[in-house]
Chains A and B, each alone.
Chain A
Amino acid sequence: MESVTQERPATPAPVQLEPVPDDSPVPAPKTGGRMNWFTHWSIERRVLAGFGLVFTGIVVISAISYRNTSVLIENSRLDSKSHELVQLLDSVGEALDTTERGHRRYLVTGEEPYLKSYRMTVEQMPEYLRYLKDLTSELPEQQSRVTTLEQLIAQQLAAESGAITQREKHGYEAVRHLALSGAAKNELEGIHRLMTELDSAEQRDLQTRVAQSAKSTKNTIALLVLGAFLQFVLLATVYLLIHLDVTERRRVAKELLRRGELLQAANKELEAFSYSVSHDLRAPLRHIDGYAALLSKTAGEALNDKARHYLQTIADSAKRMGQLIDDLLAFSRMGRQDMLYTTVNLDQLVKDVLHDLRLDLQGRTISWTMSPLPNVSGDPAMLRQVFANLISNALKFTATRPEAKIEVGSTTRNPGEVEIFVRDNGAGFDMQYVNKLFGVFQRLHRNDEFEGTGIGLANVRRIIHRHGGRTWAEGALDQGATFYFSLPLTRSLR
């Protein structure tokens, strides 16, 4: 009798539900143990990880592209500076050459207009030099060359200035050799050498930068292509993950729907079964009872006591079986019936139940102890059945007591639920059978001791479970029993 201690459905579903294959939910990549941590991740984590990688990739690519582009921009800035420098050097060289030529002609002819370019160069040179210094400010090597160049130019101009003074004071003869070889031949040569150095250094830098820019551009393009490919692969993987998950979810939803339909079909079949049981199975019972009654009526006089007892037994058994069928059907209905949730005044409910039981109370001496009960949320008809069953049980099992003591009360040990009990001083029960009390058709007393089909407490348990509560009992043989049930104070659907 182990099985009776378990909760079991009163009516097993006649439709066999197909088992769902339980391999498949996560299509794990077959990469062995190393990917185990990944397959154990939830879909959200995996998608998040995928997007995280994509984001990181974008950040890295952006950073490298930014760096490369910065180099390109810097190089092009330096390039334009270099080009300006080269141009400026040309202008300076040209100016100095023109000055030199004009100066020599002046020395030979003594005509003032030939000094025009000399005077212009003297005037403009500080400006040129400042500009040169500015353009080479980032290059110390070139800067030092410009400094040297500045000195040489100053020397050249000073030499030319000296030659002009001599020509003015002493005439052509004094400066004849200068006019032939040039006033500052050495300086001029130094200037040209320096300018060539400056120019070639600048050209070298330019070339280096061009190579660097080309390499950087190539790298950037390669990086972008590779990055795009990786992003594509990652996004495709994430898409695949989501797609697989959605497909799986859709499959599960479909499966649930199918099972729901099966369950509904099973329920319908059960309904038809119950209907058939209640009508087709009861007809023969009605006949047994009916014919026994007819026989008793027809042959009553001719029958002896024994035969009449047999007939009575036939009729009683048929009636009892009818009662069992009715109880079982009611129990089955109780499990399927829709619940109606409303606020139930338990005090009023108990009063109504006692009113219904008034016939059973006649001729009994009963001392009632009624504590106020709280309002609960539940199905009034079902809860009324609970109290009716428990109180009529208490009445039944105290029938042998000269004074029956029945107590109905409640406690609130746990917040959020109320515990209600019905206590009696009746026949009680042995605690070792406590688990059998709430089973279907489980009885702890012989029928000739106390009548009953053994469905009452099973119904109580089912109703309380549907309300989200628990049932339990305490008792001792011949010392009364207490039946408890709990109900959640807040509504909870089952």
Chain B
Amino acid sequence: MTSANLILLAEDNPRDAELALAAMEEHHIADRVVVCQDGAEALDFLYCRGVFATRQKGNPTVVFLDLKMPKVDGIEVLRTIKNDVNLKPIPVVMLTSSREERDLAQSYALGANAYVVKPVEFHEFMKAVKELAVFWGVINETPLKGSGPID
């Protein structure tokens, strides 16, 4: 399995992360998910540094970003991705509790590919995460997918 098939989930709440994983489990894509607990870790993964220094090179298929995270928040991670010519093609889906107009506008202005508010109801939440993972992680095609790992 190449890193191009990986799904990066940046989510500081371990329970939300676990529930998201449980949802993806049903479509057997949970083992492709890398969970980072803050924005700094997510950036480490993307730039293959820190604990991810030895990981196989290549961009993930999609990044799910929470907005409110310790250290580096989702908006900052999004800005970094979209300002980096190598990372720019990665689809970024904002997955957040915030329905604030300000957050929405800012995310799209920075180039987010989708903005999803976590549904309140658990079943709705499960459904949303599943559909997102399947669409962005499996169905959607990105330029880097299949082009092989970048060294």
> Which residues in A have some Cβ–Cβ distance to B below 8 Å?
275, 279, 282-283, 286-287, 289-291, 293-294, 319, 322, 326
Instruction: Enumerate chain B residues within 8 angstroms of A283, measured Cβ to Cβ.
Output: 13, 15-16, 97
Give the docked Cα–Cα distance between A367 and B32 (Å).
Answer: 59
Instruction: Enumerate chain A residues within 8 angstroms of B97, measured Cβ to Cβ.
Output: 279, 282-283
| CB nearest to B96 among chain A residues | A279
Knowing A287-B19, A290-B19, A294-B22 are in contact, say whether A279-B98 is a contact too (CB < 8 A): yes
Instruction: Enumerate chain A residues within 8 angstroms of B98, measured Cβ to Cβ.
Output: 279
Instruction: Enumerate chain A residues within 8 angstroms of B118, measured Cβ to Cβ.
Output: 286
Tell me if B120 and A293 are in contact (CB < 8 A): no
Q: In angstroms, how far is the closest chain B Cβ from the Cβ of A281?
A: 11
Beyond the given A283-B16, A293-B123, please list 19 additional residue pairs across the A-B interface where CB-CB is below 8 A.
A275-B100, A279-B97, A279-B98, A282-B120, A286-B16, A286-B118, A287-B15, A287-B16, A287-B19, A289-B121, A290-B19, A290-B22, A290-B122, A290-B126, A291-B19, A293-B122, A294-B22, A319-B121, A322-B121
Give the docked Cα–Cα distance between A289 and B119 (Å).
Answer: 13
Knowing A279-B97, A279-B98, A294-B22 are in contact, say whether A286-B125 is a contact too (CB < 8 A): yes
1-52 of chain B: CB within 8 A of chain A: 13, 15-16, 19, 22
Knowing A279-B98, A294-B22 are in contact, say whether A286-B120 is a contact too (CB < 8 A): yes
Instruction: Enumerate chain A residues within 8 angstroms of B122, measured Cβ to Cβ.
Output: 286, 289-290, 293
Interface size class, chain B: 10 to 19
Give the docked Cα–Cα distance between A289 and B121 (Å).
Answer: 8
Give the docked Cα–Cα distance between A449 and B121 (Å).
Answer: 25
Give the docked Cα–Cα distance between A29 and B98 (Å).
Answer: 60
| CB nearest to B97 among chain A residues | A279
Give the docked Cα–Cα distance between A322 and B123 (Å).
Answer: 14
Tell me if A322 and B120 are in contact (CB < 8 A): yes
Q: In angstroms, how far is the closest chain B Cβ from the Cβ of A276?
A: 10
Q: What are 8 A-B pairs at a CB distance below 8 A?
A: A283-B13, A283-B16, A283-B97, A286-B118, A289-B121, A290-B22, A290-B122, A293-B123
102-151 of chain B: CB within 8 A of chain A: 118, 120-123, 125-126
Give the docked Cα–Cα distance between A286 and B122 (Å).
Answer: 6
Q: In angstroms, how far is the closest chain A Cβ from the Cβ of B149?
A: 35
Instruction: Enumerate chain B residues within 8 angstroms of A287, measured Cβ to Cβ.
Output: 15-16, 19
Interface centre among B13, B19, B100, by most chain A C-beta atoms within 10 angstroms, is B19
Q: In angstroms, how far is the closest chain B Cβ from the Cβ of A158?
A: 128
| CB nearest to A290 among chain B residues | B122
Give the docked Cα–Cα distance between A275 and B120 (Å).
Answer: 14
Q: In angstroms, how far is the closest chain A Cβ from the Cβ of B24?
A: 13
Instruction: Enumerate chain B residues within 8 angstroms of A293, measured Cβ to Cβ.
Output: 122-123, 126
Q: In angstroms, how far is the closest chain A Cβ from the Cβ of B19?
A: 5
Q: In angstroms, how far is the closest chain B Cβ from the Cβ of A101?
A: 127
Give the docked Cα–Cα distance between A279 and B99 (Å).
Answer: 10
Q: In angstroms, how far is the closest chain A Cβ from the Cβ of B20?
A: 10
Instruction: Enumerate chain B residues within 8 angstroms of A275, measured Cβ to Cβ.
Output: 100
Give the docked Cα–Cα distance between A275 and B97 (Å).
Answer: 10
Q: In angstroms, how far is the closest chain B Cβ from the Cβ of A393?
A: 24
Give the docked Cα–Cα distance between A291 and B15 (Å).
Answer: 9
Give the docked Cα–Cα distance between A290 and B98 (Å).
Answer: 20
Give the docked Cα–Cα distance between A319 and B120 (Å).
Answer: 9
Instruction: Enumerate chain B residues within 8 angstroms of A286, measured Cβ to Cβ.
Output: 16, 19, 118, 120-122, 125
Q: In angstroms, how far is the closest chain A Cβ from the Cβ of B102?
A: 11
Give the docked Cα–Cα distance between A289 and B19 (Å).
Answer: 11
Instruction: Enumerate chain B residues within 8 angstroms of A319, measured Cβ to Cβ.
Output: 121
Q: In angstroms, how far is the closest chain B Cβ from the Cβ of A232?
A: 62
Give the docked Cα–Cα distance between A290 and B128 (Å).
Answer: 14
Knowing A279-B98, A282-B120, A322-B120 are in contact, say whether A290-B13 is a contact too (CB < 8 A): no
| CB nearest to A326 among chain B residues | B120
Q: In angstroms, how far is the closest chain B Cβ from the Cβ of A347?
A: 34
